[in-house]
Structure 1
């Protein structure tokens, strides 16, 4: 349990920032880097639950991430003031008060920075597309896959596409200026971001390997973080302890706020939410107090106060489990989400309610299918053009893609000129296409698809 390693403030590349007159520590500098990142700004028009929504009262990926950041910061403050945590780690509050809470702010703000347009369904569209692409060459539009040379692991990066792995690529490579280090964040922040420190086979029995959380293109960066944060146990990579708190902040927000979004949509009322929670004694007592609220606006007042209460309860559960299972977490032996390790099953109840009353709604599913058509269409266009035997099509397709993404792929492979694009390995050509499409906002993806398909010209 080496917290000096967990809170490692060194970077992938030695920092060149001017420190004279700058009172920020390295983790606070990380926050500045991510808050000003174009990838962070683009989350304002990416789906949280409701694709292409014009309702400003409904969460986008950015407002969700800001709320996760607030919860993560609160979790960090509670942990550094917890006497048992300080005793177990032999740390002093004054030494970590500007470290742990800030690292959690950073990791929470960017936890979804790699999510494609149209939310988690967009991830499924990309993964399913490549599953067909690599395994069904008989379809006319997939004939190109016969000419593409990738290893088994490289193919799996696309067939197991995940926003977490794409986010890691965004942070470490794609926010590129003149080198291949991306935002060049600290090892501590990157370690806390890594929900799935896994570039190999998926094993759903364990949290750390539940998904492909790192692509082959960033496997070398993962190794550096593992070494510098001491995240290796035997032959396995283990999670950074703070990744458990980042995960908890995310789960708390999407469980509670998705319910509030559905309420704001008018899909159910306070009494419907109340019914599922009255079996938990502490929540039942709170609801009894809330039921005394009456008058104009009482329904929404009760819902907001219930939301505040539920977040508070889930935060308490997360901190309790983090501190009391700290040894197992640091040894890589604890294998539960913090908020799910609860005898009352509060998170399970909320998760089931969302699964039944929010996600199946026709409004969401219809727009997700619109997202399917858009993402599939964009992949069709760019794969056909980038791998075309005609240099005229290749040139035009390359000209449509963000220059910084092409520059990042060239840097990764030791090339210096844009004209070297054709010399990139097939894996990186596909990587650039997916980098471009996954970085799009919902509206940009829609408009770009309409232009390429001839549905609109301006």
Structure 2
């Protein structure tokens, strides 16, 4: 019986390949293999998640974050397949969700969102820059896995990883084109690049044959699962890192600057469509999560099978001291595990009978509220703190100055040979700017600092190390 979630055209690729003799491996498993063996995937290990990687081996980077998102994505797919009647008969392929999560951040430039803002400002009049749009560009063009046959032009022959259309659909988070010229717009625009409209149209045609998307958005069920998993990982693992770094403790959170708490309340209220969500609601969420984790002895039921014994014992030991959640390694990781399990259990699905591949993934309102509070509080309390802001400000400046140098007179000579060839293959200013942008966006944090030092620092010069 055919799985109603998937079309025959889902497994097709935009560049035809020889018939696959590996009957033991599905096209989606082959996609996964191509992703994890790609340089863009590996380079995530050198890109910041919250704290710079050189500060501690404990903290997440983009690579370890992606691995955690992948595990959560796969778990959500398995859970929904087991719980929903339609999906038990037409299961989601967990491998697509797994691969999508591995891919979701490879388009991020060095220094996170500050690097993204810097590149977008440099490209504002030439199509902009955005991490998700760059992800699609990397896998369909920049990666050096496949080339178009019988094409010699350096710009036109690139075909990236040549993934299946269904896998490509799973990373298309924002179904809108980014304008070519946004000179008056100061915000990074979510979407895909103007130059990638053709491949996006092909993805939609393959995944949803015959559907007119002029009046509805395209976002596959696997993409929605990845997106939810990213929010779960962000809201839980990032706060664990802030606990480990000593930036936050439960007592600091519960007594935090009221101005920040009010900012969090406004943003959370906007995201959950609740105009009455207040600062006191933010505090209530944290109190509930901490108190439910640190269970009082009288609330334990002997023989209960759904309680993590190790977590309970640790919580009982420290029930008079909430800050032990941040300071004790065993209790801290148990708290993170508790949150992840709690949030995964809140994921639901509403099947679209007409287009099952676009069925809606959502989170129960009470769980969504908790996720949004943790996510937005971590951002405002940590990522916008002065200690982190100094590092990120420096990163934004480094990215801007590297781009300016490459874009200056004879700046092309600073490019590696392959990028010089791509640059020289076009006379269009926007295409040349995009080539410079691709080069800078692919840098790790450390490589960007090293490259900048070779241009501007007294101690960074060398002629022997290749670019």
Do the aligned partners of 1:72 and 1:245 also contact (CA within 8 Å) in 2?
Answer: yes
What is the correspondence of 1:70-219 to structure 2 with a 5 Å cutoff? 70-86=71-87, 91=90, 93=91, 100-131=93-124, 134=125, 155=126, 157-158=127-128, 161-177=129-145, 178-179=147-148, 180-200=158-178, 211-219=189-197
CA deviation after TM superposition for structure 1 residue 280, in Å? 7.4
Is this contact kept in 2: 1:263–1:269, CA < 8 A? yes
* Aligned equivalent of 2:260: none
Aligned equivalent of 2:395: 371
Q: Secondary structure at the match of 2:346?
A: helix
**Structure 1 CA distance for aligned equivalents of residues 235 and 353 of structure 2:** 28
Aligned equivalents of 1:350 and 1:395: distance in 2? Answer: 44
Confirm whether residue 55 of structure 1 aligns to residue 56 of structure 2: yes
* Structure-2 separation of matches of 1:280 and 1:271: 10
Q: Return the alpha-carbon distance in structure 2 between the equivalents of residues 38 and 249 of structure 1.
A: 24
Give the C-alpha shift of residue 268 in structure 1: 2.3
Q: CA offset at residue 428 of structure 1?
A: 1.2
Q: 1:255 aligns with which of 235, 245, 248?
A: 235
C-alpha change, 1:427 and 1:172, in structure 2 (3 Å) is: same
Structure 1 residues 281 and 255, CA gap change in structure 2 (3 angstroms): closer
Equivalent of 1:457, from 435, 455, 461?
461
| Structure 1 runs not aligned, ≥5 long | 135-154, 203-209, 386-392, 411-420
Deviation, 1:286, is 2.9
Change (3 A) 1:343 1:71: closer
When normalised by structure 1's length, the TM-score is: 0.77
More helix by share: 1
Match of 1:11 in 2: 13
- CA distance in 2: counterparts of 1:401 and 1:5, whole angstroms: 42
Q: Deviations over 1:162-219 (max 9, x none)?
A: 10000110011000253322100011111011111222569xxxxxxx9432112211
State the Cα RMSD in Å: 3.1
Cα deviation for residue 71 of structure 1 reads: 0.7
TM superposition shift of 1:449: 0.9
Q: Which residue of 1 aligns with 2:268?
A: none
- How many residue pairs match? The answer is 391
Query: Given that residues 6 and 188 in structure 1 are in contact (C-alpha distance below 8 angstroms), is that contact kept between their aligned partners in structure 2?
Result: no
Give the distance between the partners of 2:254 and 2:342, measured in 1 at CA.
Answer: 16
User: In 1, Cα distance between the equivalents of 2:412 and 2:380?
Assistant: 48
TM-score, normalised by the number of residues in structure 2: 0.75
Compared with structure 1, are the counterparts of its residues 272 and 454 closer, same or farther at alpha carbon in structure 2 (3 Å cutoff)? Answer: closer
Structure 2 CA distance for partners of 1:6 and 1:396, relative to 1, 3 Å = same
